[in-house]
Amino acid sequence: MGRRRRKNIRITKKKLPKVFCCPSCGMFSIRVLINFETESKIVCGSCELTWKKENTTKKPEAIDIYNKFVDEFVSARG
């Protein structure tokens, strides 16, 4: 008699994005550049929108910096 083999289940972990949507032009062309010692910089590749902010935490994540940028951009417009 043959043995049944157990099927391997692969668990894929979701990764955080590296390119974000620009609130000004609507294209997915925003890159977050992080210098861990001093500041973080956001640059849009299509409309050349730039934004700089000093780091407040020791290990900032790109998604957190992007969210702060969008909050400030929307509040300045409104």
Domains and CATH numbers, the chain: 19-77 (2.20.25)
The candidate with the shortest Cα–Cα distance to 34, out of 56, 14, 15, is 56
Residue at 17: amino acid letter: P
pLDDT in tens, 11-23: 999 998 999 999 9
Half-sphere CA count of 49, side-chain side, radius 13 A: 21
Q: How large is the C-alpha radius of gyration of the chain?
A: 19
Which residues contact residue 73 at a Cβ distance below 8 angstroms, ignoring those fewer than 6 apart? 23, 24, 51
The candidate with the shortest Cα–Cα distance to 33, out of 62, 5, 72, 73, is 62
Q: What is the pLDDT of residue 3?
A: 79
pLDDT in tens, 5-62: 888 999 999 998 999 999 999 999 999 999 878 899 999 999 999 999 998 877 888 9
